[in-house]
């Protein structure tokens, strides 16, 4: 595996002080970050979020998706528990990259859903590779996680890597009128375990 640990530092946030750990994939030159809080290497299952980079949602406050809200919710939940970890993976646009994501957004502006837009550009619905997590988890000495996700494919991918997901923690937040179709597509075509709109957030 080409992912190597670089360095760690403190990261003060609105939710508390996290430790930030830098990793580099020497094959792709992509840099990934792990945020941790509390003692995560004591053998107890760790509350975890595996979050793929979303510049538009995480940093530009886009309402087209629920990514930024999910990231903030994960940081809040970990701070409340006092222990947990977030793997921030540089896999923009489900792995297709930022420029292709903008092209996909343009197709969505014309009526395509998020899956159709990716496929019209010649990509699969989800191009992310979670194998890069293995060296990160090994470095952090994490063997069991309680995964904050609504995506059963993510759970399956981790289990196939030999990562013990002892619990799936429902993680729904950020629903708004601009992302209603996006969320329904994630539920209907990608199998995400989301509540119906009338049921509210969980």
Structural tokens at position 40 = 């995560």
**Residues 154 and 138 placed together within one structural domain of the fold:** yes
| 94 labeled binding residue | yes
| 53 labeled binding residue | yes
Which CATH number fits the domain that encloses residue 55? 3.40.50.10990
**Residues 12 and 77 placed together within one structural domain of the fold:** yes
* Residue range(s) defining the domain that contains residue 32: 3-90+128-195
Instruction: Specify if 201 maps to a domain.
Output: no
Question: Exposed, middle or buried, 194 (CB in 10 Å: 0-12/13-18/19+)?
Answer: buried
Element (H, E) at 185: helix 180-189
**Residues 8 and 99 placed together within one structural domain of the fold:** no
pTM confidence score? 0.84
Residue 171 pLDDT > 80: no
Q: What is the mean pLDDT of residues 84-107?
A: 91
| 191 labeled binding residue | no
Q: What is the mean pLDDT of residues 21-34?
A: 94
Q: pLDDT band for position 173 (50/70/90)?
A: low
Instruction: Specify if 106 maps to a domain.
Output: yes
pLDDT at 72: 93
79 DSSP β-pair partners: none
Q: How many independent structural domains does the chain possess?
A: 2
pLDDT at 186: 52
Catalytic residues: 126, 128
The residue that leads in pLDDT, 8 or 124, is: 8
């Amino acid at each position: 595996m080409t992912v190597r640990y670089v360095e760690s530092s403190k990261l003060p946030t609105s939710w508390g002080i996290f430790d930030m750990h830098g990793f580099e994939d020497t094959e792709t030159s992509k840099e990934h970050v792990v945020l941790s809080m509390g003692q995560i290497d004591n053998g107890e299952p760790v509350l975890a979020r595996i979050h793929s980079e979303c510049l538009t949602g995480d940093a530009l406050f886009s309402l087209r998706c629920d990514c930024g809200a999910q990231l903030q919710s994960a940081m809040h939940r970990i701070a409340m528990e006092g222990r947990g970890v977030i793997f921030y993976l540089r896999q923009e646009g489900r792995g297709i990259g930022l420029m292709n994501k903008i092209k996909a957004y343009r197709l969505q502006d014309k009526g395509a859903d998020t899956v159709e837009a990716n496929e019209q550009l010649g990509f699969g619905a989800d191009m992310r590779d979670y194998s890069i997590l293995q060296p990160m988890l090994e470095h952090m000495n994490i063997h069991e996680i309680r995964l904050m996700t609504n995506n059963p494919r993510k759970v399956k991918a981790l289990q196939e890597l030999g990562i013990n997901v002892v619990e799936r923690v429902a993680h729904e937040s950020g629903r708004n009128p601009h992302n209603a179709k996006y969320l329904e597509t994630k539920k209907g075509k990608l199998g995400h375990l989301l509540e119906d709109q009338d049921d509210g957030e969980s």
